Amino acid sequence: MPVYIASLNSGSNGNCYYVGNEHEAVLIDAGISCRETEKRMLRLGLSIKKIKAIFISHEHSDHIRGLAVLAKKYSLPVYVTDGTVHHCGDVPRELCFSLRSYESVQIGNLQVMPFPKHHDAVEPHSFMITNGDTRIGVFTDIGAPCEHLIRHFTQCHAVFLEANYDEQMLEQGRYPYFLKKRIRGGKGHLSNRQALEMFIAHRPPYMSHVLLAHLSKDNNNPELAVQLFAEHAGATHVSVASRYEESEIFVIDPPPLAPGESHSINQVTGQFQFALS
């Protein structure tokens, strides 16, 4: 069964990512207004009736700005950590369900696995969404790659991967020193270089799509980021998740494994292995 993914918006002005199959879908974060979420899904031909849950990565406003209205209007369950829920405004508590690291949540045929990440928030998490044998990663707002991120990145067929800033543009830009320090200080954001190093070192051979996400308006350039990755992408499609509009819908439908073949992950090292059973 194919998986459909799209960015509804990606950046400091709002983040919202769609992952679904033919029958159900989830949103990762709800950082744009309910009205804008509806408009962008409509333009893409996506039915909001397929949304069965919202998963919240952390409490910063660009990830929860539209949450309360969207959840209340459509009576959507919100999966959020116990520490984060207190910062999510007037979301009805009866719609909130506890999210815990490495406790997967089943939404129809979608399995959503939360895991911790480095970011300056209360209990920040990234997500890997599995549908059958297909795995999608939503990896943004990451101060530095860690073993949790590497382990899940090596399993994914497609990812939303943060490439927030160009290091030279940030250094020479107008931001005050304290903000530059926050961004590159290990609990802020990934640079283009860090994201590329992650991609080169840990991309599995079957990764078909990378959507570069959460690009800074002032300290990055979409063409620069794509060009940097293009030299190393091979057969992997690389594009940018825009901060101004929705992306196209990408269909992730890896070919079935041949009889007797399996993809496995070494859970200690996170390295990809190919095995014959």
pLDDT for res 269: 33
- pTM score > 0.85 for this model? yes
Mean of per-residue pLDDT scores for the chain:
92
Q: Tens digit of pLDDT for each residue in 228-261? A: 999 999 999 999 999 999 999 999 999 876 555 5
Report pLDDT digits (tens) over 211-226. 999 999 999 999 999 9
Q: Cα–Cα distance between 198 and 273 in angstroms, integer? A: 18
Angle between helices 67-74 and 34-44 (to 10 degrees): 70
pLDDT of residue 271: 36
pLDDT tens figures, 42-58: 999 999 999 999 999 99
Each residue's pLDDT tens digit, 53-74: 999 999 999 999 999 999 999 9
Q: Cα(5)–Cα(35) distance, rounded to whole angstroms?
A: 20
How big, in percent rounded to 5, are the helix, strand and coil portions of the chain? 25, 30, 45
Nearest Cα to 202, choosing from 255, 269, 131, 262? 269
pLDDT number for residue 267: 36
- Put residue 94 in one of left, alpha, beta given phi > 0 → left and psi -120 to 50 → alpha: alpha
Residue 268 pLDDT more than 80? no
> How many CA atoms, within 13 angstroms, populate the side-chain half-sphere of residue 125?
26
